[in-house]
Amino acid sequence: MPVYYLAVDIGASSGRHILGSIEDGKIVLEEIYRFQNGMIKKDGRLCWDHRKLFEHIKNGIKKCKEIGKIPISMGIDTWGVDYVLLDENDEVLGDMVGYRDSRTDGMDEEVYRIIPEKELYERTGIEKMMFNTIFQLMSEKKHSPGYLDRAKALLFVPDYFHFLLTGVKVNEYTEATTSQLVDAHERNWDYELIEKLGFEKELFQRIAMPGEKLGKLRPHLVEEFGFDMDIVLPCTHDTGSAILAVPANDDDYAFISSGTWSLLGVERDTPDCTELSRANDFTNEGGYDSKICYLRNIMGLWMIQSVRHNLDDRYSFAEICDRAAEADSFPSRVDVTDNCFMAPDNMIEEIKNYCRRTGQQVPETLGETATCVYASLAECYDRTIKGIEASTGRTYSRIHIVGGGGNAEYLNKLTARATGKEVHVGPTEGTAIGNIVAQMISRGAFSDKEEARNMLHRSFDIKVYHYPVR
Ligand code: LRH
């Protein structure tokens, strides 16, 4: 019987439980449970339904028992920045507000009144994104301080679920860095910054590194599931997990973790908090092995997901790609990092408005709209890679795309065309694989991430795109 490891990978639109094992020298995956996710409007705020999410987490764990494949350990990864505040009884204060909510509007000015933007970047290395935890907390402080006053602990989304499973409170490092409150060099909370901003230092928990064994299941859960297992921290930030799953051991590549967001960057040993880096919107997020994931947050396939949703989800993603390919010559482009695309009422209208505003041809068909998004994404990838090359003073000959966005064939082709680089696509379950790999390394199944990445290369199909096509 192989040893099983369970990854719970929760994204903005869906979550999945994936069992991983090593069989015949390869990593084998089995998806055993899948569920929908999304932000819901609650009291005028966009929120995550954390109770429902935890029910799904438990249902998926029970599935292991049903199919007779009991994992030795499990770990959860999610998106970044969002959190809950807990009171003295460990109850959630208010809601788990989602990052697309507008509560952070204007909070940059509030924060920069206390600490100038440039200094904030020098300390944290984190790109200004209006949803960063720093701005969310400032919004709570300004608009509803009651919760912050009563709070005893701040846990990020994966930290909270790990706490519900084990009873242990920590802030896992990779996720914590997305808050913009971690000292990029020290890899610990920037307590001076936290104090300056007027947040209670005690809210912030011990920073725990990926790979740490957090504990066992709480006794009542052992009873409910019918088995016990270790909870091992993966990179709980999905980006960190996805990057761990890049099937390469050299450094001649940039990665794109492609899903709802496109995270494009390179792994570095030390943070780059220079003015050039800030001006180019690069961020220094925490990665596995204390690496720095030096990358840019690009809007990604969220725009295509939303366009699809505006059409009542009638078209599959593959169909959307085909329509886009038919409209290949459509000339208009949008800025895929523009805030107007964060949470518009109607994405199709927002794209049309953008084109109208900028004096470009307005897309009329699904194909034209999708081409406009895909081509704009590919061109943004090209600009971003050039920016990274300027920062690191070297060039990269390949791009590795990991994550579900790798299924967008048309976008892969456009990426090769726009960048002139070799594009290697796969594994498409990158995030879950990275989560599992961190658990496997922690248990000693691999001596280090290099050994794991070698096995990834042997285990999954990697498709290569060239332009011109060879
Ligand atoms: C992608 C992601 C990304 C963003 C965040 C909101 O899932 O983790 O890093 O910063 O969600």
Q: Is the Cβ atom of 236 under 6 angstroms away from ligand 1?
A: no
Q: Is it the case that residue 470 has pLDDT exceeding 80? A: no
Of 77, 159, 230, 238, the catalytic one is 238
Q: Average model confidence (pLDDT) for the chain?
A: 97
Is 238 known to be catalytic? yes
Q: In this structure, are residues 405 and 320 in contact, taking their beta carbons and an 8 Å threshold?
A: no
pLDDT tens for each residue of 70-116 = 999 999 999 999 999 999 999 999 999 999 999 999 999 999 999 99
Cα–Cα distances (Å) from 401 to 292, 319, 391, in that order, read 18, 21, 21
Residue 469's pLDDT is 80
Q: Is 79 in the pocket of ligand 1 (CB under 6 A)?
A: yes
Inform me whether the pLDDT recorded for 287 exceeds 80. Answer: yes
| Dist CA 175 CA 158 (whole Å) | 8
* Closest ligand 1 atom number to CA of residue 238: 8
Q: Is residue 33 helix, strand or coil?
A: strand
Average of per-residue pLDDT across 135-144: 96
* Yes or no: domain 238-470 corresponds to CATH 3.30.450.70: no
**pLDDT tens string 198-211:** 999 999 999 999 99
E strand residue ranges, 126-227? 153-156, 171-172, 182-183, 188-189, 207-208, 213-216
Interface predicted TM-score (ipTM) of this complex, two decimals: 0.97
CA distance 238 to 435: 8
pLDDT one-digit tens code per residue, 370-413: 999 999 999 999 999 999 999 999 999 999 999 999 999 999 99
C-alpha to C-alpha distance for 296 and 311, rounded to whole angstroms: 29
Contact 368, 327 (CB under 8 A): yes
Q: Which fold has domain 4-232?
A: Nucleotidyltransferase; domain 5 (3.30.420)
> Taking residues 447-464, what's their average pLDDT?
95
What's the whole-number mean pLDDT along residues 273-301?
96
Judge if the beta carbon of residue 99 lies within 6 A of ligand 1: yes
CATH 3.30.420.40 domain range(s) in the chain: 4-232, 238-470
Which residue has a Cα nearest atom 10 of ligand 1? 80
pTM above 0.95, yes or no: yes
With a 6 Å cutoff on the Cβ, whether 83 touches ligand 1 is no
* Cα torsion through 445, 449, 453, 459, rounded to 10: 20
CB-based burial label for 49 (10 Å; 0-12, 13-18, 19+): middle
Q: Which of 130, 237, 298 to mutate to test the pocket of ligand 1 (most atoms within 8 A of CB)?
A: 237
Nearest CA to ligand 1 atom 4: 80
**What CA dihedral angle connects 432, 437, 442 and 446, to 10 degrees?**
170
Does residue 262 sit in helix, strand or coil? strand
CA distances from 328 to 188, 300, 367, 443, 465 (A): 47, 19, 8, 48, 18
The pLDDT of residue 453 is above 80: yes
Ligand 1 neighbour 81 (Cβ under 6 A): yes
C-alpha distances in Å from residue 256, one per residue of 190, 283, 312, 319, 375 = 29, 14, 28, 23, 16
- Ligand 1, closest atom to CA 79? 8
